[in-house]
Structure 1
């Protein structure tokens, strides 16, 4: 399933109506799906205010309020136009809700959630009054009151197809897109207005039967994490060899190796120099060896992770590393200093299908300077056309691509992950998933989703804020992230 344009989405809806689907039932299904995701994201009831326009997008928001109220939320709505100017379905859902419009914000404990139901996919161009004023009000409450803005289908003021934000567009913290993802949501320009992306599946709105970029979520990949057999043992879970850390950078090695454990590996062995004083968790096997590059490649691992905090190697070590990497066919995650080494010595062409690379934007710019200024999706696609590896380009909307050209966009995570060590954890988790037998693209996709979801849980379930979320918090909540994927909650 790929993304769709506004025109394609309208065609999907019209086909559903021709097949006898009732528009009201469709609205109720979409609203219920959105409410479920909101309730899972915010376990503590608070205040929800829907900002609604004249169209059916406003009706969706009112249905969400119905469900939230049943779960103990205080609800209110602020319309852009009088009731007589709203769509029939929106008027009906307003009457069913049974409350009058509220010019203010109800007081009370818990989160303050603003539902952006001003405009749907049919709108275009800059926001005009009275919609512009309501959008500005949401943006101001987000800035001054800590309100959380949830956009229904897409943020008002964002072009559905290009993702370009018009002046005064709503800045959402989460965007709940209905049925099929809209093309503009994946554009680089839309990232700061869309926040966390959620897909709200609606069976009556099936995606087009074609390949194309996909959003990573359990609904799109339902069989990827089946339950373990009851006679499962650590040998089945896989062995991971971690070549990471240098004196002064042992924290990267510890986070990476622990990521491997929390990511499900049966055995994680960390190879360190003799003078490295790292003391990781006792479940990690540590080998202090003088020839650790050789030892790490000789180890009978199911997957290797190389690079976090590896430091500067001597010329003989560099030569040995490149020779052993070229001769090794084990699934291997290459991160951080391993990528910098390849870039600095002109060895990017050494990348092969068994390599999963996980650069952040700066490392990617060193690997492919000519691609760094392109839109992220284009840059990723061109890179894997040149180099037969799997690429996970980190950042907001982490993108995974393999030689086949299959692009996968990760929706999870938040700005609090912009802290040291998060990439080390991700590398370890990806290594564990490779060791368990997942294909490289699936391991990269799952790793990004799980780490992002875990960081979300650190806020929603762990009491952290974006500013205080650390890589250690991500490690702590990985178990809950695995459950969320397996139970298809997100």
Structure 2
């Protein structure tokens, strides 16, 4: 990504971030939910939700299987853990409980530690149904949430307007999604992301790789491009490329940090557009091109952030780097990329 375009996009991402103000109450700066945590996987939902908290969310909920919930509660008292995805319950009872929890959230992250059992996949399907009914909720999909999308693409299709959905597939997950939608995965990488995003109803996709490619299959509006930019086009809509240098070691859990930060940025951007922060001197954007493309901006900001976290973690730990090291670096890297030294910290939130 040309430096001018990169700087412009990061400035727009920074504009989504709410100021620190005593006039904001707890919850207004991000209520994030993570639906995952099956019997075998308790680490992934922790990394996603704690990554969101360290990034700046006010509240993080983990919605999981009871056994995983008991374990996750021992990791941190900062997380609100709902062990409601109990296989002994009827799906209708789970749906009722889920509906109450989702009503409290800005963004739901589906997939970290979800697993591929029929029960957990069905729980995720119900969560998608409820999120679709809530016209203000954003959704981030990763890991085995993408397995559900691969098998049943309709869960993310035909949402009203430009979908408030971001998919974060790795190389193999992206390839399987292309095959499901009958898209030739051997085509130029710059054409694949917009083609897949378009086929899925214009969801936003972060195609993770040596360079992250981001698209919703639509043309990128002028507001997201600086004058004279030479952004690339992928045939079916423009693409954004995130090529910030990352670390040289890939560890399980880095994608969970990405999903958490993506969720927070989408929550902040969505609330900014709704005018939630107007009373603290942060009015909503007047440009429709910005207001309608919060998922694209959230995806680009989170991609840049995650690649930088990986780089800093590798600089510090080298081959011994693990995801726990990255959680500890979320705060410092946030300040490096998005810090606002002029903001009031004052008395905090009520």
TM-score by length of 2: 0.70
Deviation at 1:358, TM superposition (A): 0.8
Matched, 1:228 2:19: yes
Task: For 1:399 and 1:282, locate their aligned partners in 2 and report how far apart those are by CA, in whole Å.
Answer: 36
Structure 2 residue matching 1:404: 3-state secondary structure = coil
Structure 1 residue matching 2:27: 3-state secondary structure = helix
Matches within 5 A, 1:69-80: none
Task: For 2:8 and 2:52, locate their aligned partners in 1 and report how far apart those are by CA, in whole Å.
Answer: 25
Matched, 1:345 2:156: no
The equivalent of 2:82 in structure 1 is 287
Conserved? CA contact 1:270–1:287, under 8 Å: yes
Matches within 5 A, 1:408-419: 408-419=240-251
Of Structure 1 and Structure 2, the greater strand share is in: 1
Of Structure 1 and Structure 2, the greater helix share is in: 2
Matches within 5 A, 1:291-370: 294-299=96-101, 300-311=104-115, 312-314=117-119, 317=123, 320-321=126-127, 323-329=129-135, 330-347=137-154, 350=157, 352=159, 353-369=163-179, 370=183
Task: For 1:473 and 1:351, locate their aligned partners in 2 and report how far apart those are by CA, in whole Å.
Answer: 39
Conserved? CA contact 2:10–2:301, under 8 Å: no
Matched, 1:382 2:174: no
Residue 255 of structure 1, aligned match among 40, 44, 47: 47
Deviation at 1:327, TM superposition (A): 3.2
Matched, 1:398 2:230: no
Task: For 1:348 and 1:375, locate their aligned partners in 2 and report how far apart those are by CA, in whole Å.
Answer: 27
Task: For 1:322 and 1:235, locate their aligned partners in 2 and report how far apart those are by CA, in whole Å.
Answer: 22
Conserved? CA contact 1:303–1:432, under 8 Å: yes
Q: 1:238 to 1:416 in 2, by over 3 A?
A: same
The equivalent of 2:337 in structure 1 is 485
Conserved? CA contact 2:246–2:309, under 8 Å: no
Q: 1:218 to 1:283 in 2, by over 3 A?
A: farther
Q: How many residues align?
A: 274
Matches within 5 A, 1:91-106: none
Structure 2 residue matching 1:368: 3-state secondary structure = helix
Note the residue ranges of structure 2 that are not aligned, 5 or more in a row: 87-92, 221-238, 271-293, 341-350
* Root-mean-square deviation over aligned CA pairs: 2.6
The equivalent of 2:57 in structure 1 is 265
Conserved? CA contact 1:308–1:336, under 8 Å: yes
Q: 1:363 to 1:258 in 2, by over 3 A?
A: same
Residue 35 of structure 2, aligned match among 237, 243, 254: 243
Conserved? CA contact 2:99–2:130, under 8 Å: yes
Matched, 1:449 2:256: no
The equivalent of 2:259 in structure 1 is 427
Task: For 2:158 and 2:175, locate their aligned partners in 1 and report how far apart those are by CA, in whole Å.
Answer: 16
Task: For 1:318 and 1:448, locate their aligned partners in 2 and report how far apart those are by CA, in whole Å.
Answer: 24
Matched, 1:275 2:67: yes
Conserved? CA contact 1:271–1:292, under 8 Å: no
The equivalent of 1:26 in structure 2 is none
Q: 1:293 to 1:355 in 2, by over 3 A?
A: farther
**Structure whose alpha-carbon radius of gyration is higher:** 1
Q: 1:298 to 1:388 in 2, by over 3 A?
A: farther
Deviation at 1:374, TM superposition (A): 1.9
Structure 2 residue matching 1:419: 3-state secondary structure = coil
Structure 2 residue matching 1:270: 3-state secondary structure = strand
The equivalent of 2:89 in structure 1 is none
Conserved? CA contact 2:197–2:216, under 8 Å: yes
Note the residue ranges of structure 1 that are not aligned, 5 or more in a row: 4-180, 182-198, 202-213
Deviation at 1:325, TM superposition (A): 4.8
